[in-house]
Structure 1
Amino acid sequence: MADPTDDLPSGDMTFEALSTALGERYLTYALSTITHRALPDARDGLKPVHRRILYAMRGLRLDPGTAFRKCAKIVGEVMGNYHPHGDQAIYDALARLAQDFNVRYPLVDGQGNFGNIDGDNPAAQRYTEARLTSAAAALMEGLAEDAVDFRDNYDGSEREPVVLPAGFPNLLANGSSGIAVGMATNIPPHNIDELCRACLHLIRAPGASDEKLLDFVQGPDFPTGGVIVEPRANIKEAYRTGRGSFRLRARWAVEDLGRGQWQVVVTEIPYQVQKGRLIERIAELINAKKVPVLADVRDESAEDLRIVLEPRARTVDAAVMMEMLFKASDLETRFALNMNVLIDGRTPKVCSLREVLRAFLDHRRDVLLRRSRFRLGKIEARLEILEGYLVAYLNLDRVIEIIRTEDEPKAVMMAEFHLTDTQAEAILNMRLRSLRRLEEMEIRGERDALTAEREALIALLGSEEAQWSRIADELREVRKAFGREAPGGARRTEFEDMPAVEDVAYEAMIEREPITVVCSEMGWIRAMKGHLPDDAELRFKDGDGPRFLIRAETTDRLLLLSSNGRMFTLSCANLPGGRGMGEPIRLMADLPNEARMVALFIHRPGGRLLLASDAGDGFILPEDEALAQTRGGRQVLNLRGEARAKVCRPVRGDHVAVVGENRKLLVFPAAELDEMARGKGTRLQRYKDGGLSDAITFDLAGGLSWKDPAGRTRTVTAADLAEWVGKRADAGRMAPRGFPQNNRFE
């Protein structure tokens, strides 16, 4: 057999299993996504794109207080020098850093339309301008002092920082979110004042537990405010493990309108909820009558957020109304905590609160040591030059003579005064105006000051206690600049216990009125006001006619059994009015086209139903188990093959009467039937040909009744039924004379 590689071109080739090749390449891609795109660095809390944006803006000298520059210029600088990806992705990241409703402490000061809480997108980058904020400047303080490592950019033409010095714990202050390959992160914003206090405590007590740190860090502090109603025990567990969730609610208050009228005003909504979409959702709930106590919603927001909720009646309980809205809308959300970060810039890890703060503090110590060594080197170099200047002043006449007469004055001075090359070069470059007496005094003063600073730096580098004391002083300065006393630094999100509002049933919020439910053969349903008489004149579509007429109340719920064995729940309060022909019932329940309606009736709490298929199988179903919460209904009767649901009747007796299509009647005790929430059931009657026609329950002592062809009710007593009483699954005997020709009991 020929070798399949014979036809391949000659040259160096390697053969590798496809699974191995794919695995290695996918792993490389996954690691790149995790470390270079999705997960933030625990030290500065930034992803590469955000770090590059801030560094590029620093390079453009867009410091706080300077003039704004076009965002298109910034995006171009970032994309061309540091981040070779799409400009729209860079601009989206830049815009988010400027949105005060997304970022607790914005790092970019934007001018122009940067989007809003309604969900509107920012204007194009050619229309907007930006510069750095004070918080961003604090993150980059020390970059020029060798505070962090630098690396080559993507093409080696520039250098970029691996991490920023980070003057405050930005990871927790502004939070982060991202989805990588096989992992994700989601960290909420926090209050800088609380974070700094926790860091100061961790400096004093390095072994402090997460629980102790939570005495300082209360929990998330979202830029949009809101109220966290999560139990304190859950919050502690979330910060201890790095995983959990926080239940966040809108802030609301009752506004008195006088004369007993009132309305609810929402002034803060949950984090990352779009106000426009929220109002649309509440309006949909009103139209669908999902919150019957709510009449209207209005957006009266200007500079401040203001959503007005108008109750349907003054007697409505505001707390109950809001609880219903919290359950049905995004006025209440859950923020999932997943503190998955790059703990050392390379290794992803789900961290606790203590581990994240520890990573930040260790980074700050490393930054302090590097800046101190850098400054020490600068001082040593300056002192060397100053010593040379002093030698020149002490021997000024000789120095001038050497410069005027010697061909190589530098070498002569170095040999005569024992100067270094750097000192001699500095003396030769000295200006004549510097030879005055006052300049000598200034040099001596500068030398003494630098000498003292050098001694202090040497002491700092030699004492770990002094290093942590310096870091603590820096954190206190951060608290002063961004803490609760600074503009916008006060906590916005508050904590409350879950309100003790009793769970009020949906029906209790509906005004109770009598109605008549009319459902046609073709499945068009409507609710007529009042209880109509049996002979009331009703209109139907051409070719259609009446099927069900049920006298009910608006607080009732209807149960609908379809031939496929599914039970659907309909609220009478949500049924269309009776002015027209109604609406198709398939708009309210996901009823398949091939399924037909078997029964429609009012739900009775605590009641029981007799369910049976045309194959002759059935069981007793508790009505409470039949209720469905969704349009899809609930499967209650399992069917096989061509079998279809046939009977659904309330259980009102101790015996079951079954009649087949062969007109054979069987009576047996109801106790022989199983009671279950779902199933195929057990055999009710045995058939040689055909199947089940009808079934009903009754009290044997009162006899079995049916209507004869003349409309009269005929009752067969228990004694007369003796020959039809048997065991479940028997064949039965021919029905007594006078039994309806349609083989039905009702």
Structure 2
Amino acid sequence: MSSQAPTETGSVREVRLVEALSDRYLAYALSTIMSRSLPDVRDGLKPVHRRLLYAMRQLRLDPGGPYKKAARVVGDVMGKFHPHGDQSIYDALVRLAQDFSLRYPMIDGQGNFGNIDGDNAAAMRYTEARLTAVASRLLQGIDEDTIDFRPTYDGEAEEPVVLPSAFPNLLANGSQGIAVGMATAIPPHNVAEICNALIHLIDHPESETAALLQHMPGPDFPTGGELVEPPTSMLEAYSTGRGSFRLRARWEVEQLKGGQYQIIVTEIPYQVAKSRLVERIADLLLARKLVLLGDVRDESTDEVRLVLEPRSRNVDPAVLMESLFRQSDLEVRIPLNMNVLDADNTPRVMSLPTVLRAYLDHRHEVLLRRTRHRLAQIARRLEVLEGYIVAFLNLDEVIRIIREEDEPKAELMQTFELNDAQAEAILNMRLRSLRKLEEMELRREHTRLSEEQEDLKALLADEPRRLQVLRQEMETLREEFGPETALGRRRTQLSEPPAEVVVPLEAVIEREPITVMLSEKGWIRALKGHHDDVSDAKHKDGDRGRFALKAQTTDKILLFATNGRFYTLPADKLPGGRGFGEPVRLMVDLPNDQDVVALLVHSPGARLLLASSDGRGFVVAEDDVLAQTKNGKQVLNPGKGGEAAVCRRLSPEDDHVAVVGENRKLLVFPMTELPEMARGRGVMLQRYKDGGLSDARGLRLADGLSWAAAGGRTRTESDLSEWLGRRASTGRMAPRGFPAGNRFYP
């Protein structure tokens, strides 16, 4: 409970703490969503960007005009419109000026505004800024009552709620933001293609995503690159407003003398810092994770030029690049989440057609308001012109009234039936305007404005004609930012998804022999080299070795647990042999109440025999048990009170299965009676009156059944006719000399 003593300024209301926190957090969340993180679908801007552009317009920082210090701009924005820190405002200004961050920059910066390497911009006292032509288009018509204004945070001035936006900024420049419980991620696109899609939507209002993507095929990033996302995936992403795009660096092979070559990366993915990319590749190289790569160099100037030298001229460039794409930011996924504020300030995830229609609706509203504003201006001017014409027709009387009457305004209004505005305009007229030629000019202006008035009224009454005006706007914009212009040409190449390139594991991991050890208490490590005897390996107090496998660093290690789940461990990720290793439960989500049944090196194409303690089991393809996550993959479902007990790899020659129970009864039955499954509880292998299953294995009947005997010897029972039966039988007592532990192998 939150409470305070009453004060002189008012009473204190007691509220529950949870209610107070809920109300305040909701207010914070709404503020973040509406005023910081999500852009408006109409102009594609967040409040800080909108305030920046409006403040720069008030400072007359027009394209082609003089620059002003960025500190002056930031000061005006912070003092008049945006009550936040100067650094956040300057960061927003810097991004609007970076041609590698924005497809169509809105601020023309002079000085150091950062670079593609990820270096920061200079301090605001050293940089200067002015608006670009794109920003001018966003502000175009703002003085013509095209948009609403609201009071600023201190109530001393007004700021625009949204900009007129004669430029489709939301899709052209994209937007990123993280709010409370929601986020937005919109990649940039090509303006000429957006205009084509808008024109198509004007001509065909019912068009869906597939038709629009014929004109606007995908993102166009300022840093170029190659988009290799399948068309079906892009269609789904734009239809739902959520998805992602696969973007790769653009590269080419440069031939050298003696049959050598090197790979030149000329464009890197969007929002990837070049210096950090080079560092990442160098780190992978030092960690011996890129065994096909010999060296990496950055020879960039104003243009990107990363040089990748293969370790050998026999290395396939495609395989080398594929290994780099998989392990570095030379390939990234660009998210699409078109979560924006609509015209009612409501957050919504919109599809591509919805976003384009929202922009057209905004431009249509701007056209209506601009037309009405112009009609009001014309009406006022016509009113004044009519008063001027009356004055010219009665010029001598007008002069007399002004010279002789004490209240000339009232007398003019009464004598010539003028209104207040007309009389005031006559009184304010300059003497040099009293010429005969001026009367003719006024009549021509009156005629011209009357014709314009009729035309604008007709425009207001004709929606198809208004749509054609919007269409003409789009055509003009497309011409200004067309493919033949430096700013308008498409930079990101649209390509078909690349053919699957098989990258040998040896290409990304250096193949080295290791010995994998897992102790009874679950500590795992990998010793370098293959060791036949690991008995002298050190363990923690009270612990000892349990499993030891010979493997390679390129292998995958399968761990089978008593809960019937398989876990996959990359051999190259195992801790080194120094010390005691690490608990395997830190590497996989193995519950504390479960134990390890088997540890083996994955053999593609092999088959495994799985069985639970209640005597059920089946055969599973080893390729089907590989897990992609730490949580593992459920394969065997033990019955109630049972647990997974056996995991044995089968030989291709195995034609029978041998099962032994805790009652020491042995059963041998044909392999054909055991089903192969991907997951399940399995079938009954052996029936028990008391106890359960101890062990199971595959065998070739002609070779007999072997087991480990005392002294390291192996015993074999060649004639198994006594134990042959059908699956789910009880079997007979095991032969003399069978291990007391009821296990075929230790």
Task: Give the TM-score normalised by structure 2.
Answer: 0.79
Contact 2:706 2:744 in 1 (8 A): no
**1:736 corresponds to which residue?**
736
Q: Which moved more, 1:113-122 or 1:596-605?
A: 596-605
Matches of 2:509 and 2:252, distance apart in 1: 25
Kindly state the Cα deviation for residue 135 of structure 1 after the two structures are TM-superposed: 1.0
Deviation readout 1:39-93 (Å, 9 max, x if unpaired): 3333222233322222222222222223333334333333333333444443333
Deviation readout 1:554-608 (Å, 9 max, x if unpaired): 766555668998766566788999xx97994869992789999876655433323
Assess, with a 3 A threshold, how the Cα gap between structure 1 residues 707 and 740 changes in structure 2: closer, same or farther. Answer: farther
The aligned amino acid for 2:587 is D
The aligned amino acid for 1:590 is M
**1:247 corresponds to which residue?**
246
Kindly state the Cα deviation for residue 488 of structure 1 after the two structures are TM-superposed: 0.8
Matches of 2:166 and 2:74, distance apart in 1: 25
Deviation readout 1:451-472 (Å, 9 max, x if unpaired): 4444443443444444334333
Assess, with a 3 A threshold, how the Cα gap between structure 1 residues 77 and 345 changes in structure 2: closer, same or farther. Answer: farther
User: What SS does the corresponding residue of 1:74 show, helix, strand or coil?
Assistant: helix
Does 2:702 align with 1:704?
Answer: no
Assess, with a 3 A threshold, how the Cα gap between structure 1 residues 711 and 200 changes in structure 2: closer, same or farther. Answer: closer
Matches of 1:464 and 1:560, distance apart in 2: 70
Matches of 1:146 and 1:543, distance apart in 2: 80
**2:145 corresponds to which residue?**
146
Matches of 1:25 and 1:548, distance apart in 2: 57
Counterpart pick for 2:504 among 498, 503, 506? 506
Matches of 1:700 and 1:267, distance apart in 2: 64
User: What SS does the corresponding residue of 1:302 show, helix, strand or coil?
Assistant: coil
Matches of 2:726 and 2:370, distance apart in 1: 98
**1:320 corresponds to which residue?**
319
**1:715 corresponds to which residue?**
716
**1:214 corresponds to which residue?**
213
Q: Which moved more, 1:30-39 or 1:674-683?
A: 674-683
**1:669 corresponds to which residue?**
669
**2:175 corresponds to which residue?**
176
Assess, with a 3 A threshold, how the Cα gap between structure 1 residues 321 and 735 changes in structure 2: closer, same or farther. Answer: same
User: What SS does the corresponding residue of 1:337 show, helix, strand or coil?
Assistant: strand
Matches of 1:570 and 1:60, distance apart in 2: 62
Kindly state the Cα deviation for residue 156 of structure 1 after the two structures are TM-superposed: 2.6
**2:378 corresponds to which residue?**
379
Matches of 2:465 and 2:674, distance apart in 1: 83
Structure 2 unaligned blocks of 5 or more? none
Kindly state the Cα deviation for residue 138 of structure 1 after the two structures are TM-superposed: 0.8
Contact 2:268 2:330 in 1 (8 A): yes
Matches of 2:43 and 2:380, distance apart in 1: 31
Q: What pairs with 1:229-240 in structure 2 (closer than 5 Å)?
A: 229-240=228-239
The aligned amino acid for 1:669 is F
Q: What pairs with 1:590-739 in structure 2 (closer than 5 Å)?
A: 590=587, 602-610=601-609, 622-629=621-628, 648=648, 650=650, 653-654=654-655, 666-669=666-669, 671=671, 697-705=698-706, 714-718=715-719, 722=722, 733=733, 736-737=736-737
Matches of 2:11 and 2:304, distance apart in 1: 68
Matches of 2:244 and 2:365, distance apart in 1: 33
Kindly state the Cα deviation for residue 742 of structure 1 after the two structures are TM-superposed: 12
**1:66 corresponds to which residue?**
65
**1:189 corresponds to which residue?**
188
Matches of 2:243 and 2:278, distance apart in 1: 28
Matches of 1:613 and 1:386, distance apart in 2: 101
Matches of 1:243 and 1:738, distance apart in 2: 63
Matches of 1:258 and 1:699, distance apart in 2: 59
Matches of 1:271 and 1:438, distance apart in 2: 64
The aligned amino acid for 1:457 is L
The aligned amino acid for 1:194 is E
Kindly state the Cα deviation for residue 119 of structure 1 after the two structures are TM-superposed: 3.7
User: What SS does the corresponding residue of 1:259 show, helix, strand or coil?
Assistant: helix
Contact 1:576 1:582 in 2 (8 A): no
**1:156 corresponds to which residue?**
155
Fraction of identical pairs, as percent: 54
Kindly state the Cα deviation for residue 143 of structure 1 after the two structures are TM-superposed: 1.3
Assess, with a 3 A threshold, how the Cα gap between structure 1 residues 363 and 325 changes in structure 2: closer, same or farther. Answer: same
Contact 2:707 2:714 in 1 (8 A): yes
Assess, with a 3 A threshold, how the Cα gap between structure 1 residues 575 and 181 changes in structure 2: closer, same or farther. Answer: closer
Q: What pairs with 1:297-308 in structure 2 (closer than 5 Å)?
A: 297-308=296-307
User: What SS does the corresponding residue of 2:587 show, helix, strand or coil?
Assistant: coil
Q: What pairs with 1:480-491 in structure 2 (closer than 5 Å)?
A: 480-491=479-490
User: What SS does the corresponding residue of 2:256 show, helix, strand or coil?
Assistant: strand
Contact 2:567 2:631 in 1 (8 A): yes
Matches of 2:238 and 2:742, distance apart in 1: 70
Contact 2:40 2:341 in 1 (8 A): yes
Contact 2:253 2:262 in 1 (8 A): yes
Matches of 2:206 and 2:562, distance apart in 1: 67
Kindly state the Cα deviation for residue 504 of structure 1 after the two structures are TM-superposed: 1.9
Kindly state the Cα deviation for residue 304 of structure 1 after the two structures are TM-superposed: 1.8
The aligned amino acid for 1:467 is R
Deviation readout 1:103-149 (Å, 9 max, x if unpaired): 22122223334343344444444444322221111111111121222
User: What SS does the corresponding residue of 1:309 show, helix, strand or coil?
Assistant: strand
The aligned amino acid for 2:481 is F
Matches of 1:253 and 1:178, distance apart in 2: 34
**2:526 corresponds to which residue?**
525
Contact 1:566 1:634 in 2 (8 A): yes
Structure 1 unaligned blocks of 5 or more? none
Matches of 1:512 and 1:82, distance apart in 2: 58
Assess, with a 3 A threshold, how the Cα gap between structure 1 residues 394 and 485 changes in structure 2: closer, same or farther. Answer: farther
User: What SS does the corresponding residue of 1:483 show, helix, strand or coil?
Assistant: coil
Contact 1:561 1:648 in 2 (8 A): no
Assess, with a 3 A threshold, how the Cα gap between structure 1 residues 571 and 256 changes in structure 2: closer, same or farther. Answer: farther
Matches of 1:344 and 1:40, distance apart in 2: 11
Q: Which moved more, 1:193-202 or 1:541-550?
A: 541-550
**1:80 corresponds to which residue?**
79
**1:134 corresponds to which residue?**
133
Contact 1:42 1:345 in 2 (8 A): no
Kindly state the Cα deviation for residue 174 of structure 1 after the two structures are TM-superposed: 1.9
Contact 1:608 1:621 in 2 (8 A): yes
Deviation readout 1:632-664 (Å, 9 max, x if unpaired): 7667678999989787565564556677999x5
- The CA RMSD over aligned residues, in Å, is 5.0
Matches of 2:312 and 2:263, distance apart in 1: 13
Kindly state the Cα deviation for residue 489 of structure 1 after the two structures are TM-superposed: 0.9
Contact 2:289 2:509 in 1 (8 A): no
Contact 1:520 1:540 in 2 (8 A): no
Assess, with a 3 A threshold, how the Cα gap between structure 1 residues 153 and 707 changes in structure 2: closer, same or farther. Answer: closer
User: What SS does the corresponding residue of 2:143 show, helix, strand or coil?
Assistant: helix
Does 2:105 align with 1:110?
Answer: no
User: What SS does the corresponding residue of 1:163 show, helix, strand or coil?
Assistant: coil
Matches of 1:271 and 1:370, distance apart in 2: 38
The aligned amino acid for 1:229 is V
Matches of 1:156 and 1:226, distance apart in 2: 47
Matches of 1:516 and 1:461, distance apart in 2: 81
- Residue-pair matches, total: 729
The aligned amino acid for 2:736 is P
**1:333 corresponds to which residue?**
332
User: What SS does the corresponding residue of 1:525 show, helix, strand or coil?
Assistant: strand
